[in-house]
Structures are given as C-alpha cells and as structure tokens.
Structure 1
Amino acid sequence: MLATLGSMVPGQHGDLAARARKVPYASIELSFGRGGGLLVLAEEQGGLTFWQTARNETVVLRHGFLQSIAGIKPRLEMSKSMGADGKLISMASLGSDERFRVERSWVDKKGVRHAGRAEARWVCSTKTRAIKLPLTTRELYKCTETLDWADRGETRSVYWRDAGGHVWKADVAAWPGAPGISWQVARPWWAQS
C-alpha cells in the first residue's frame, strides 16, 4: 500500500469527482464539520485504513466504519462495539437487524475528554437503491445505526453498503453533539468482484 502518499488533495474547492478521476489510488471524499476534501489512502493494516491530510490530521476507518480521528479538535479517540456477551463485534459482519453496545471516547472543541456508552440498534433495508458516488453509481443497502446514549439522548448515523458489507457512503454522528462526519468512496481499497 501507499504508506507515504497520505495527503489531502490541494485546492479543495471545485469538482472533487474530477480530482478523484485523476488520482489512481484508493480515495474517499470526506467532510467533517465545515472542512473536507479528497483523501488518499495512506496505509491499510488488518482491516484498518488510515486517511491523512496534508496537515497530519488522520481519519481511521475499521472495515469502512469510523474508528478514530486524530490531529484536530473535536476528535473521536476510540470506538468499540460489543455484543450482549461483552465480546467485540465487527460492524462489517452485522446483519439487517441487530442490537449491540457501543463505547466511545472523544475530545470536544475545548479539549475536554468525554466517554460514553450507548445501546445500539442497526437496521438495514431489504432493497437496494441507486446511490451516486464520486466516480460511479452503485446499488446499495441503507443501514441506520441508532445510538441511545445514557443521559445524553440519541444519535443516528446512516451507512450505505453493498451485499458484501463494504461501506461506500456514510453520514455519521459519532457522539452526542459531534459535528457531522461523512465520507463516500471514490476508489475502493478492497478487491472488486
């Protein structure tokens, strides 16, 4: 993989799809709060993908699901999902209707650390929809993750995935009050069938 090519493509205004067509590497179009752009895969290791900006801000996905954000405030420091038995589960292996627990820690805009636990419900549609992505249109299933945070209300995230479980697009509320983070795959990093 390209461990050295991890930067936000400069000049983020304009047509990101045109830029994505010019970059032959795995890439995602990402937005976080009011910023964003086209990110190129910096490294892949054991289901983790690292997407780094020119300012050394790093977004980490685990099998296409948000794992952490580093180098900025606010940021997600850790995310884990567990079954009722307390064992870690892989979000990529979730079926169409699941319940589990989520634990996350984050740092807010002021630098204050927080931790939270939520009861999660995961529901996916049974029919696909054509979803326009930067370089293609794909038939994807809409999956909604609803997190009920103890004493903090509810957050809702939407993931669009294929039949193999690969996440192609996501709109995520990582914690209560978090700025929105969304991404969509321009060029996938997994093998295509």
Structure 2
Amino acid sequence: MSLRNTRAAYGWAAIALHWISAVGVTALYFLGDQMEDAPDRAAKIAAQNLHVSVAVLLFSFLGARLLWSLSQPHPRALESNVWLHRAAMAVQGLFLLMIAVLLVTGPLAVWSAARPIQVFDLFAIPSPFPVRIGWLREAAEEVHGAATKLFWPLIALHVAGALKHLVIDRDGTLQRMLWVKHPRQA
C-alpha cells in the first residue's frame, strides 16, 4: 500500500488520518459528556482542560486530514446507486461541517471568557479578547452544544452505510479504510 491515494484505493496516510480523527472526535464527545456530568466545579474545570487539550491536539490531525484530502485524488465510488452515493456525500459533508463548527465554537467559548486555552499544562494559547464577552460565550456554548447533537445520528448513518457495503454490496468499500485488500482489488 502506498502513502498516496489512487483512483482505486486510499493510501495509508489518508486511512491513518481518518481513524485518528474518528477516535479523536469520539473521545472528545465523551470528554464533553464527562465535563457536563462533573460533580463539582473543580472536576468540571479538570474535565474541560482535558477536553480542550485533546481538541487542540486533534485540531492538527484534522487540519492535516483536510489538507491531505484536498491534495489527493479520491478513489472512485463503488456505490452504483446515485442517490445513496449522494446521501453518503451529504453525511460526510455534515460530519465535516459539524467538526468545523465545533473547532470554531470551542475555542470561542474559552476565549470569550478572556481566558487562554491551556494545552496539557504545557503551553497556553492566549485569548484574543482582553475582556469577557458574555453574549459571545453563551452563543458559542449554545452552538457548540447544538452541533454535538449531530454526532450520534451521523455515526449511525456512517456505520449503516459501511455495513451495507460490507454485508449487502460486498464491494470492498469498507476494506479500503481498513488496510485490507478486497478479493476484487487483489
């Protein structure tokens, strides 16, 4: 398997960035839940710091994934039904939109409180706002929370599509993201 994508298959870089992103976004979802369920202020702050630190780390992988995706050919679709292919593209587009909204509103929620973003207590990204902006903080938190509501429905649709390709179509679509050669591709 090569580093780069071809019209027939994803390269190992695209596959690795996909799975790192998937695990990272899922971890952030659960860390966000942990933050909401924190028993006291100290636990909430600790959970928020971990959530934000992981988000900053993941931001670099998501940026790399986006740049890599834009610079690479996309393997041709194996889906023969044009409507299902469009639905799959819509789900992927909504995933990217959800992630983009979360990556903008998360830092805004912290910075609009005139606080820096602390990253694993190693360094801080200073706030561009010298004073607290309450309405921006509330709006950013509201939009951030609303965007997370898309997470599970999109995961369910994405997994359902992958299972359809694996069980019904048996066309090798899922194998292209698992480093496994499908018999038709061998």
TM range (shorter): under 0.3
Q: Which one has the bigger strand percentage? A: 1
What TM-score comes out, normalization by structure 1 length? 0.26
Question: In proportion to residue count, which structure has more helix?
Answer: 2
Question: Which one has more relative contact order, counting CA pairs under 8 Å at least 6 apart?
Answer: 2
